[in-house]
Amino acid sequence: MTTEPIEQDSRRALSKLALKFVVDPYSSKSFAYRARARRWDMLSARFPDLDAMRVLDLGGRPVVWTSAPVRPKQVVTVNYERHESPEDWITAVQGDACDLPAEVRNDRFDLVYSNSVIEHVGGHDRCLRFCESVHALADAHWVQTPWRYFPLEPHWICPGLQFLPLLLRASVARVWPIGCYREESREDPVGAVLSVQLLSVAEMRRYFPKSTLLYERVAGVLKSIIAVQG
């Protein structure tokens, strides 16, 4: 008698529980939801006139803003994937945050916002181009990224995954039952792990030398870094 179906059922059950209580940013019971709510509070405290601002969200999606507790005057999102905006105060643009479409590149905003995107753009040169977009389009910015050395890799919610050799990371990611990269990991595990390059504090200081760095912590341990200006 094979145990494979039982093991698959157990992984699926664990995945559903993790989605509900850990990684789903839209479930009020999840850790991710509570962490994001605290981050919205931090953003609002830093920019109390946010409701009067034009915001450029690099890498974001309209659903992030329609579900947010804050509402700027206008939001423009730029994402590789095509998204439809359900609100007239949100404009969704399909494009590359490191090589912005002319309609965005030639515009001007009050604030450039980005949440957990810079670690996905693809290497040092692309990070530099991403930062050029941030600095060129507004005097103020808010750029968040997970800290590389947090004990749990934040995309797979797997202890120490980011410290393993590439092929071992891919092997673990392919079968790991939780996290937000499950489908990508099953289809192309090497590509999935290569698409995430977590940053250190030193790297964020290099990319944002004139910004203030804020630190989000869990039980006293640094979890993510936010570069803020303005």
According to DSSP H, which parts of 54-95 are helical?
A: 62-66
- pLDDT value at 6 more than 70: no
DSSP track, 115-158: ES-GGGS-SHHHHHHHHHHHHHH-SEEEEEEEBTTSSEETTTTE
CATH number for the domain spanning 63: value is: 3.40.50.150
> What pLDDT does 96 receive?
97
- pLDDT value at 147 more than 70: yes
* pLDDT cut 90: percent of the chain above it: 79
Cα 161 to Cα 151: distance, rounded to the nearest angstrom:
9
Same domain, 211 and 138: yes
- What average pLDDT score do residues 120-137 get? 97
Same domain, 68 and 156: no
Residue at 65 is within a domain = yes
* pTM as predicted: 0.86
**Residue 147, CB-side half-sphere exposure with 13 Å CA sphere:** 19
Residue with tokens 């804050």: 70
Distance of CA 122 to the CA centre of its chain: 14
> What pLDDT does 184 receive?
79
> What pLDDT does 24 receive?
60
How many domains does the chain fold into?
A: 2
- pLDDT value at 145 more than 70: yes
Residue at 35 is within a domain = no
Of 22-36, 136-150, 183-197, the poorest mean pLDDT is in 22-36
Question: Within the chain, how many helices (H) and strands (E) appear?
Answer: 9, 9
Which carries the bigger pLDDT value, residue 54 or residue 6?
54
Same domain, 135 and 203: yes
> What pLDDT does 39 receive?
92
Per-residue tokens: 49? 């006139």
C-beta of residue 177 within 8 angstroms of C-beta of residue 160 = no
Same domain, 51 and 76: yes
Distances (CA, A) of 77 to 44, 48, 80, 139, 159: 19, 21, 10, 18, 32
> What pLDDT does 1 receive?
46
Same domain, 168 and 142: no
Cα 62 to Cα 87: distance, rounded to the nearest angstrom:
8
Give me Rg for the CA atoms of the chain. 18
Per-residue tokens: 91? 């404009």
- What average pLDDT score do residues 103-126 get? 97
Residue 37 — pLDDT band, cuts 50, 70, 90? Answer: confident
Residue at 123 is within a domain = yes
- What average pLDDT score do residues 118-130 get? 97
Cα 142 to Cα 114: distance, rounded to the nearest angstrom:
6
Please give the residue range of the domain that contains residue 66: 47-148+198-229
C-beta of residue 164 within 8 angstroms of C-beta of residue 190 = no
Same domain, 91 and 139: yes
